[in-house]
Every structure is written in structure tokens, then in C-alpha cells.
Amino acid sequence: MSQCFNELASDSQRLNHSITPIDDCACGEELLYGERVRVTEVPVLTCQCLWRRYQRAAEKIVAPNGVLIADPVARNRAINAAYARLWLHEPRFQWAGLAAFASKQVGCGLLHAAQSIESIREEHEARQRLRDSRSEAGLLTPGKMPQQAAALGEYQQARARNPLAAVDVRGPGEEQSIVQQQFQHVFEMMAMGNTTLFLDVYPLHQFYAVRGLAELKKCLHDREKIQGNAKWPVLWPVGQATLKFGYVRPEIEMAFEAIDAGSVAESVEHLAWHEQRNILQPTIYENSHLVALLRGNHFSYVTNFPSGVAQAIELTLTSQCQRVDDGRTIGFDSNPLADLSDIDQRMKFVLRAANRFDLLLKDSNKALLAQSIREIALRVEG
């Protein structure tokens, strides 16, 4: 096993027992039933204490010093690395190994959206500079032609980098075009889903790894109780109205029971259902705007219209974004009407990827997968 979690004082302390020797506890007098009595305050390690500490450990990964990493791409790299370290720490955490690749793929989508927004901005600004140059001096004005030629060249280069130059529309006074706004919405929703899922699942793995199955089951229902404490606020980007923090679902207990019993593939299926149905479905896949955009993206990719615009919906079990043709890339669906927001269609894709990952770990591809996961674990920056 590799080192994954920072050691905490509570790791070696007994649940529901004093964490401080009685002789060291604060002692004072209180008025009780009309009489003054001496009272000793004994701090006890509770389930809520443990959840608060493990939740805080996860928050430090995505929000160092209490501030959420502002750049979703950088935050995604931190999440990918944390998932990868989980699998390297404990190979029975096979869901985490698959999640390292899946979250990496989310990062590829974030990069695609960010680059598309930037290429549209560059083309728009270059076109505006060319128009300004021509409106100020007119066409073919002696002394201005070299400047206009340079502006035209910059515009043509920017237009070539922008796959949507011919179809993009910008409303009057709008800072972003309609397509940029669409990319921005996808970017923000993907980032929120990625962060929310991590903050839900990572503390579960740490609790189990450190305290074991019996205490995890004993304490599961206490997790939601740490939400709403003014002194120790929980970072929960999606909000309680959309998804209640720490709500116990049966898949959680079943997943860690399967891990404990050595049924690793079964644990992956339980956690995949928890991930997709309990977390991502209410968080992002019930957002009507995102659903429409995802359907459009899939249709565009399958039909290649508009050309060069859409990104394939697929999972590649490598540390890179590019697909490979050796069995490590799993596609969603070739039907242009396929719907990623539909939980049943999506779960077929997820479980197919989980099964492929499990099979590859059992043959000569295991070394390749392990190397890719190590690369993801180290790729926290840049």
C-alpha cells in the first residue's frame, strides 16, 4: 500500500471513549438541583467527530486553506489525483481506480469547453479589430494597408482555430456569444458534479480505510448531522435543496460490505449506482439546459454536424484525453438519439466501462492501467 491519508490523532482513539485522560480534563463547579457540585468535562470521540475530520480532509484537497480552488480544471486535477491515490493505497478500492479515469475524462471535457470558449473569444476580438481598422481608415487607404493586412491575417488565423465561426451568434451587448454561454454552462455543471461527487465519496473511503466496516455502518446515519453547524460548516457546492448532504443510501453499505468480503467487482457496481443515481442524477442530469446541450453534443458527434464542434462521449482508461484503439476506450452509444441524461442508458455505459476495467486488471493490461493511474496521481499541477 502507498501512503494516502494524513495521520490523525483520532485514528488510534476508541469510538465513544474519552480522548483525554481524566486527570487532564477540565474540572469546575456547577449549580445542579440547587447544590454546587464539581463537574469534570470529558471529551469523547463520537461518530460526528470522525465524519467532521474525514470531511475536512476531503475539503482540503479541493479547497486548501478553506478556499475552493477557483479554476475547475485545476480542481479536477486534484480530484483525479486523490482518486488515483486511493486505488494505489488499496487496490480493493477499484471504484476509485475507475473514478480516476472517469474524473480525468471530465477534465478533458472541461478543457474542451474552456478552449472552445477561448477560441470563440479570440475570433470575435480579431474580427472586431479588423472592422475597427477598416471603419477608421477605409479599405485600400495608403499607409494603412500593412496594418489592415496584419489585422486580416490575425482574424483569419483566429477564425481557423474557431470551429464555430460560421454559426456563432452574439446578442447586442452580450459579453459572450450564445455558443460560449452554452459551453460555459456545461463547464460549470460538470465542475460542480465532479466536486460534489468527490466530497460525498472520498470521506466514505477514508472512514472505511481507517476505522473499518463495523464503525462505518454504526456511524453512517450520523454523517448528515454535521451539516448546518456554524462553527464547522460543510463545503457542499450543490446545496441542500438539490441534494441533501450525507443522506444514507443502501448502495453505500452494500458497497463496503462487498469490499470487506473481497467482492471487488460487486462493490464497483454498488458505488457506480450510488454515484450516478444518488449524486450525479439530481446534481446535474436533471438540469434541463444541460440535458439539451448534452443531447446536442452527442448528435453533433455521431452525425459530424456541425463539423468539428462536438466532443465524443467516451471513457479512455489512460492518463491522456485521446482515445486509443486497444480496448481501453469505451464509447457511450453510436445512436445519435442516445441520451446521456437517461439513468438507464448511462448506467449501461458505466457498467460496461467497469466490467472492461475489471477484465483489464486481470490480464496483461494491469501494468499499463497501474502506470496510467500513477501518472494521474502525480499530475496535480499543469
CB atoms within 10 A of CB 77: 21
With 50 as the cut, is the pLDDT of residue 234 above it?
yes
Mean pLDDT computed over 200-222: 97
Spatial distance between the Cα atoms of 287 and 189, rounded to a whole number of angstroms: 9
Can you give the three-state secondary structure of the chain, one letter per residue? CCCCCCCCHHHHCCCCCECCCHHHCCEEEEEECCEEEEEECCCECCHHHHHHHHHHHHHHHHCHHHCCCCCHHHHHHHHHHHHHHHHHHCCCCHHHHHHHHHHHHHHHHHHHHHHHHHHHHHHHHHHHHHHHHHHHHCCCCCCCHHHHHHHHHHHHHHHHHCCCCCCCCCCCCCCCCHHHHHHHHHHHHHHHHHHHHHHHHHHHHHHHHHHCHHHHHHHHHHHHHHCCCCCCCCCCCCCCCCCCCCCCCHHHHHHHHHHHCCCHHHHHHHHHHHHHHHHHHHHHHCCHHHHHHHHHHHHHHHHCCCCCCCCCCEEECCCCCCCCCCCCEEECCCCCCCCCCCHHHHHHHHHHHHHHHHHHHCCCCHHHHHHHHHHHHHCCCC
pLDDT in tens, 147-182: 655 555 555 555 555 555 555 655 666 666 666 677
pLDDT in tens, 11-28: 777 886 665 555 555 666
Mean pLDDT computed over 44-52: 90
Q: What is the pLDDT of residue 11?
A: 78
Q: What is the pLDDT of residue 65?
A: 87
Interaxial angle between packed helices 264-273 and 343-361, expressed in degrees from 0 to 180 and rounded to the nearest 10: 160
- Highest-confidence segment of 104-108, 114-118, 130-134, 377-381: 104-108
Place of cell 477514508: 206
Q: What is the pLDDT of residue 210?
A: 95
What Å distances lie between residue 18 and 9, 46, 207, CA to CA?
A: 13, 10, 20
Of 355, 3, 5, residue with least CA distance to 204: 5
Please, which pLDDT band fits residue 191 given cuts at 50, 70 and 90? very high
Interaxial angle between packed helices 366-378 and 72-89, expressed in degrees from 0 to 180 and rounded to the nearest 10: 130
What percentage of residues in the chain have a pLDDT greater than 70?
70
The domain segmentation of the chain, as residue ranges, is 69-116+177-378
With 70 as the cut, is the pLDDT of residue 104 above it?
yes
Please, which pLDDT band fits residue 297 given cuts at 50, 70 and 90? confident
Q: How much is the mean pLDDT over the chain?
A: 82
pLDDT in tens, 68-80: 999 999 999 999 9
Q: What is the pLDDT of residue 148?
A: 57
What percentage of residues in the chain have a pLDDT greater than 90?
51
Q: What is the pLDDT of residue 40?
A: 47
User: Pick the residue with more confidence: 35 or 40?
Assistant: 35
Whether residue 210 contacts residue 32, with contact meaning beta carbons closer than 8 Å, is answered with: no
With 60 as the cut, is the pLDDT of residue 35 above it?
yes
Q: By mean pLDDT, which of 125-134, 199-208, 272-281 is the weakest? A: 125-134
Quick one: 103 exposed, middle or buried, by C-beta within 10 A (0-12, 13-18, 19+)? buried
Q: What is the pLDDT of residue 107?
A: 86
Spatial distance between the Cα atoms of 302 and 370, rounded to a whole number of angstroms: 32
Please, which pLDDT band fits residue 1 given cuts at 50, 70 and 90? very low
Spatial distance between the Cα atoms of 123 and 154, rounded to a whole number of angstroms: 9
Q: What is the pLDDT of residue 6?
A: 82
Neighbour-count burial for 209-230, b at 16+ CB within 10 Å, e otherwise? bbbeeebbeebbebbbebbeee
With 50 as the cut, is the pLDDT of residue 56 above it?
yes
Q: What is the pLDDT of residue 205?
A: 98
Q: What is the pLDDT of residue 10?
A: 76
> Rounded to 5 degrees, what are φ and ψ at 38?
-85, 130
Amino acid at 179: V
Mean pLDDT computed over 340-365: 95
Q: What is the pLDDT of residue 271?
A: 98
Whether residue 373 contacts residue 88, with contact meaning beta carbons closer than 8 Å, is answered with: yes
Q: What is the pLDDT of residue 123?
A: 60
With 50 as the cut, is the pLDDT of residue 382 above it?
no
Q: What is the pLDDT of residue 119?
A: 65
Sequence-separated (6 or more) residues with CB below 8 Å from residue 354? 95, 98, 265, 268, 269, 272
pLDDT in tens, 312-350: 889 999 999 889 989 899 998 888 888 898 999 999 999
Whether residue 246 contacts residue 51, with contact meaning beta carbons closer than 8 Å, is answered with: yes
Q: What is the pLDDT of residue 29?
A: 60
Sequence-separated (6 or more) residues with CB below 8 Å from residue 281? 343
Spatial distance between the Cα atoms of 303 and 289, rounded to a whole number of angstroms: 21
